[in-house]
A = this chain, B = another copy of it.
Amino acid sequence: MSNSKHTSRQFDTELEAVRERVLMMGGLVESQIRLALEALIGNDIALMNRVIADDHRVNALEVEIDEQCTRIIARRQPAANDLRMVMTIIKTIADLERIGDEAKKIAYMARDLSHREHIHLPRYTEIRHAAKLVLDMLHKSLDSFARLDLASVAHVVRQDELVDNEFRAILRYLVTFMMEDPRTISNALEILFIAKAIERMGDHAQNMAEYMVYMVKGRDARHISAEEIEREIQEETMP
C-alpha cells in the first residue's frame, strides 16, 4: 500500500514534469510567433535568422516530451484520466511543433521579401491583426491545458472563424493590389503565404483547444461545431 502510494506520487511528479515541459514548449512557440512577426514588420534580418535557428529547440522539445510520454505509458501504465492526459499531451505537442514550423516559414518568407525591392509592398495591418488573434487563441489553449479548464474552448473555436475571415479579407485586398499593379504580384504572393501560415497556426491552436474537451470530458470534440462544444461542456457543469 505504501509502496503503491509511493509509485503513484512518483507518477504524479513525472506527469507534472511533462505538463510543465509542454507549457514551456508552448511559451517558446508563442515567442517564435511574436518574433517572426516583429522581424517581418521591422524588416529585421538578424531576428529572422534567430527565429529560423531556434526552430530546432521546438523540435527537440517535441521529441523529448514524446519520449517522456512513451516512457510513462510503458512504466506507469496509467489508466483513465491519467492516460487521457498523456494522449492529449502527445497530440498537443504535435500541433505546437507545427505552429513553430509555420513561424519559421514566416521568418524565411520575411527574409525573401527583405531581399526584394520594397516599393510595392502592401502594409501589414491585417497580418498583424490576424497574428494577434492567433496568439490569443494559442494562449487560451495553453491556459486551458494548464488549468484543466474548458471555459475558453468554444471561444477559441469561434476565434478561428475570425482568423479565417481575416485571411479572406487579406486575400481580397491582395488581389486588388495585384490587379492594380501586376509588378507587385510576386511580393503580394509572399505576403499571401505569410497570411496562410498564420491561418494554419489558428487551425492548430483550435485543435489544441479541442483536445482539452477530450482530456477533461473524455469525449472527442474534433470535427464538431463551436455550438456542439458548448453544449458538451455545459452538459455536466450544470447544477
* A contact residues vs B (CB 8 Å cutoff): 56, 59, 62-63, 66-67, 70, 73-74, 77, 79-80, 83-84, 87, 90-91, 94, 171, 175, 178-179, 182-183, 185-186, 189, 192, 196, 220, 222-223
Contacts and interface: CB of A to CB of B under 8 A. Distances in A.
Given A178-B185, A192-B189, A223-B56, A74 B66 contact: no
B74 A79 contact: yes
B196 A175 contact: no
Given A74-B83, A196-B196, A222-B63, A186 B175 contact: yes
A79 B74 CA distance: 6
Interface residues of A: mostly helix, strand, loop or mixed?
helix
Nearest to A82: B74
Given A66-B220, A182-B182, 10 more contacts: A56-B223, A62-B222, A63-B223, A73-B73, A73-B83, A74-B83, A77-B77, A90-B91, A175-B185, A175-B186
Contacts of A73: 73, 83
A163 B94 CA distance: 23
A80 B91 contact: no
A104 to B, nearest CB: 11
